[in-house]
Chains A and B, each alone.
Chain A
Amino acid sequence: MSEPILSVRDLSVTFPSEYGTVHAVQNLSYEVHKGEALAIVGESGSGKSVSSLAVMGLLPRTATITGGIEMMGQDLFAMDDRQLSKLRGNTISMVFQDPLSALTPVFRVGQQIAEVVRIHHPETSAKQAEKRAVELLEAVGIPEPMRRANQYPHEYSGGMRQRAMIAMAIANEPELIIADEPTTALDVTIQAQVMDLLKSAQEMIGAATVLITHDMGVVAGFADRVLVMKDSRMVELGAVDDIFYTPQEDYTRNLLAAVPRVDAGESGRSRSVAGAALQKLAEPGDDGQEIAPREERPIVLEVEELHKVYPITKGAIVRRKVGEQRAVDGISFDIRQGECLALVGESGCGKTTTLMEIMQLRTPQQGVIRIDGTETGSLSRKERAALRSDVTMVFQDPMASLDPRMPIADIIKEPMRVQGYSAERMNERVDWLLSMVGLLPEHAARFPTEFSGGQRQRVGVARALACDPKLIILDEPTSALDVTVQAGVLAMLADLRARLGVSFLFVSHDLSVVRHISDRIAVMQRGRIVELGETEDVFTDPQHPYSRELLSAVPIPDPEVARTRRREAIDRSAFDGADKTASSPDPTA
């Protein structure tokens, strides 16, 4: 094998904190060779990001770093900041997690890419650099690159911003690309495109790549070797096929098992833990009760021809309507008692607007919403307040949905207080609710910051359950969580449904997440429901092309399958530039 591009030896990073020294990375060693893709996989807090920031020399001053990092034979620790700056962007480049905050909002995208080119090649004229930026944008598959280069980052969608970031990363043909969770902020369909693009870009310029992620599914089609990290230490390092097919460590197996799978096949055969747990629950008769067929159960929520239209206005003084944005365009569905309906679609397809229309409990712009047979528009103020206990919500971000200044007990008591429960009953219920969601009653006095993301989401569920609701609306309850934590929360939700008989409206952009929990799936696109059917039917035989697209975008944690699925590729001729003759055939053709 060739000389390693990057070799990290015995790297340890510690931070001082109020609670004593935090060991972020301990004794980490790895090497990346030319043209190789290494994936570092681990949960949040496992030290994967810190280790790559150390490579870039971007750790805060307070960090204590020991060990050695060598980049093409040069010791990075021996360099001063100026020498490092020369390296960054030229020899090492980075793709960040959040493409919105990684691009400067006040400069045009084209200028920002041109800047990267000019910093390291000062001899390039401004005009040439801008031309190069357009070529790069074209190479990463941005339509109308000339016009787009003159736009600001906020005019780009999330996926396009990440494409622009990749264009910037490959601008100087670096030896090493570090991609730090490049797709966690994106929808599944976009994620698939961006990962494919990154892979083909890496193959084209032959750079070594370090991909940092918490999702094993993403890794399968991308990496040559995988390094699994846990609690600041390395757990396992091996070739991608070895890690996926014959993992040596328990932890690796758990990580793999936690990935929700769309290809899991029929019940019982699922390798996924969450899937297995849910399948077991889904069998009726667990609690000795026979569940009535769907048609005989009462309807909990009924939405009929719901519309929500936002006017687009222009003019500062006299506002006139120039158009309209049809956020929700006539959707209808119903949820029976004890049923789970999954609403799946990309961001911007109107899922959240639909939820908000339901949660408002007011007359919608057009259409009818009935909860338990009562029309929401006809409610008096008092009735509406009472109905709030029947329909509750679990939010997407467990960090933001709990007031950081309130202890857990008060957070859970809040809805009960509104409904006028007695203090004694509230205390009883808090204990019961906490044990219901898998927390201990002793946790009641703690504050949300003392809990991890998964535990906070459990608190969020406990709060939603507080007043014995009939329907819980789950707005992407697991998308902010790590895969392993996600599996636990999903299992808990399925368990609650089986035990308490509540109905769920489960909103997600990821089909694989809802596979095991939902009875029926509604696929939503541009404000319309394009497909509504039994979960198994949608998975085995999707009718609408959009459903098929969603299904195929879900990453499959199986290297062989994943490799065959690559579609997106970088435009080589555009990258080489118009002045050079394109020697290799266009892979997209």
Chain B
Amino acid sequence: MTNPHDIRGTDDAAKLRASTDPEENPMIGSTADLTTAVDTALPDDAAPAIESLGRGELLRRRFLRNRNAWVGMIVFVVLIVMAIVGPIVYQYEPFERDLRNALTGPSAYHWFGVNENGLDIFARTMQGLRISLVIGIGTALLTAFLALVVGIVAGYVSHKGKWGALADGALVNLINLFLVVPSILLLMLFSPALQRASWLWMIPLLALFAWMLTARVLRAMTQQLVRTEYVEAARFMGVHPIITMTRHIIPNVASWIIIDTTLGVSAAILGETGLSFIGFGIQYPQVSLGTVLQDYNISAPYTWIPPAAVLAALVISINLMGEALRDALDPTSGSSRL
């Protein structure tokens, strides 16, 4: 049955008639002069203008057609600019105490107000946004890398005889092991110790407990790709397995990885702020959105609404972009329709 989305190549018949009708084309299949044979066989450029859209261009169009994508992008860019510029132009430092104005609301000097310890909330929110962004993006990238390596290797070797199946089994059990380990307890155990060295240790620590599900999905996708004829063709050509993985498999799962990494950023930010909020994440002398929220005073809403709003805006904007990206990459989703 013809899928209506696949309708293309209707001009093929005309070309074929030219190339298969002996009356129109007496040269067919003859061993005569090559160039004439080619010219008559394909009288015209094979694909007319309708096929000339590249994949990237198509993606860009679909992405930009989505209104949510625009909202997400604008909010995300505004937040990044604020995180970069905010601490530079603002007069207070995140740990500068102004005890005289403790627990006062927003004013011309303290834009978001001051908490009960005399710390300026805007300065802390902006600094926290910086840290949260770095941790979020770093964790997502590291997670994607770990998942890619484990998932693709496991998926690729699983068809390669007895030893391959054994290696695949070992990797799957490793994934399962990490899935059943109580990650939150381990994070709470290791985080304060590693914090003493550097706050950047948060990135590998969070990534270590986030890669498993992505890896499982990638393993399944690779197993499917390994069975396709083009991967088989590469095997019959004698292409090295590692080259096959990088040349054939990774590009074909790339779109999924991109979506997963994008959505992983917001997941990592939420994980980090959550840990920081209960006191096991980012600690003095650094501040994250979670630590800012930790200093809440329920009776003074200005102490918790601004950082919470920034956090929500950040996560929602990333999710909006991720969803739009998924719609753009997935031909069966709504955005492929006009």
Could you tell me which A residues sit within 8 Å of B by CB distance?
A: 15-20, 22, 24, 43-50, 53, 59-60, 62-63, 96-98, 180-181, 230-232, 250-251, 254, 257-258, 273-274, 276-278, 280-281, 286-287, 359, 384-385, 388, 392-393, 395-397, 400-406, 414-415, 417-418, 435-436, 438-440, 442-443, 446-447, 450-455, 463, 484-485, 487-488, 491-492, 494-495, 498-499
Contact = CB atoms under 8 A, between A and B. Distances in A.
Interface in B1-27: 1-2, 4-14, 16-17, 19-22
A452 B1 CA distance: 17
A338 B234 CA distance: 25
Contact of B8 (A62, A274, A388, A452): A452
Contacts of A487: 16, 20
Contacts, number: 194
A22 B7 contact: yes
B7 A15 contact: yes
A60 B238 CA distance: 44
A310 B154 CA distance: 25
Interface of B: 1-2, 4-14, 16-17, 19-22, 28-31, 34-35, 37-38, 41-42, 45-47, 49-53, 55, 58, 61-62, 228-230, 232-234, 236-239, 247-248, 251-252, 336-338
Given A403-B230, A406-B247, A454-B16, A16 B337 contact: yes
A447 B22 CA distance: 31
Contacts of A491: 20, 28-29
Contacts of B239: 414, 417-418
A414 B234 contact: yes
A94 to B, nearest CB: 10
22 contacts: A15-B4, A19-B51, A20-B50, A45-B9, A49-B1, A50-B2, A63-B4, A98-B1, A231-B10, A250-B21, A273-B22, A277-B20, A400-B228, A400-B230, A401-B233, A402-B230, A440-B42, A443-B46, A450-B52, A451-B9, A451-B47, A452-B12
Nearest to A464: B233
Contacts of A418: 237-239
A24 B7 contact: yes
A277 B22 contact: yes
Contacts of B30: 280-281, 286, 495
B221 to A, nearest CB: 14
A571 B53 CA distance: 54
Contact of A388 (B6, B17, B236): B236
A45 B8 contact: yes
B29 A495 contact: yes
Contacts of B22: 273, 276-277
A362 to B, nearest CB: 11
A410 to B, nearest CB: 8
A414 B232 CA distance: 13
Contact of B19 (A276, A395, A397, A488): A488
Given A273-B21, A273-B22, A438-B19, A452 B38 contact: no
A18 B251 contact: no
B161 to A, nearest CB: 11
Given A287-B31, A397-B229, A45 B1 contact: no
B337 A62 contact: yes
Contacts of A417: 239
A392 B252 contact: no
Contact of B4 (A50, A435, A495): A50
Contacts of B50: 19-20
A439 B37 CA distance: 10
Contacts of A439: 42, 46
Contacts of B13: 43, 46, 230-231, 251, 484
Contacts of A258: 20
B12 A18 contact: no
Given A231-B13, A406-B247, A484-B17, 16 more contacts: A19-B50, A19-B51, A19-B53, A22-B7, A24-B4, A53-B1, A230-B13, A232-B10, A277-B20, A280-B30, A392-B236, A392-B237, A438-B37, A438-B38, A451-B9, A463-B233
B17 A274 contact: no
Contacts of A454: 12, 16
Contacts of A455: 12, 46
Contacts of A278: 29
A440 B30 CA distance: 18
A414 B228 CA distance: 16
A62 B46 contact: no
A451 B239 CA distance: 25
A396 B42 CA distance: 23
A359 B232 CA distance: 10
B16 A484 contact: yes
Most buried by A among B19, B35, B229: B229
Given A45-B2, A359-B236, A403 B248 contact: yes
B234 A280 contact: no
B252 A180 contact: no
Looking at A232, A250, A463, A485, which has the most chain B CB atoms within 10 Å of its CB? Answer: A485
A201 B141 CA distance: 61
B42 A401 contact: no
Contact of B237 (A16, A59, A404, A415): A415
B53 A254 contact: no
A337 B264 CA distance: 58
Contacts of A488: 16, 19-20
A393 B51 contact: no
B329 to A, nearest CB: 13
Closest 4 CB pairs of A and B: A452-B9, A277-B29, A388-B238, A401-B229
Contacts of A451: 9, 46-47
A254 B21 contact: yes
A82 to B, nearest CB: 24
Contacts of B248: 403, 405-406
Given A450-B51, A463-B233, A492 B20 contact: no
A145 B251 CA distance: 48
A505 to B, nearest CB: 14
A230 B234 CA distance: 37
A485 B61 contact: no
Contacts of B9: 44-45, 451-453
A281 B229 contact: no
Nearest to A453: B9
B119 to A, nearest CB: 52
B305 to A, nearest CB: 43
A62 B7 contact: no
A181 B16 contact: no
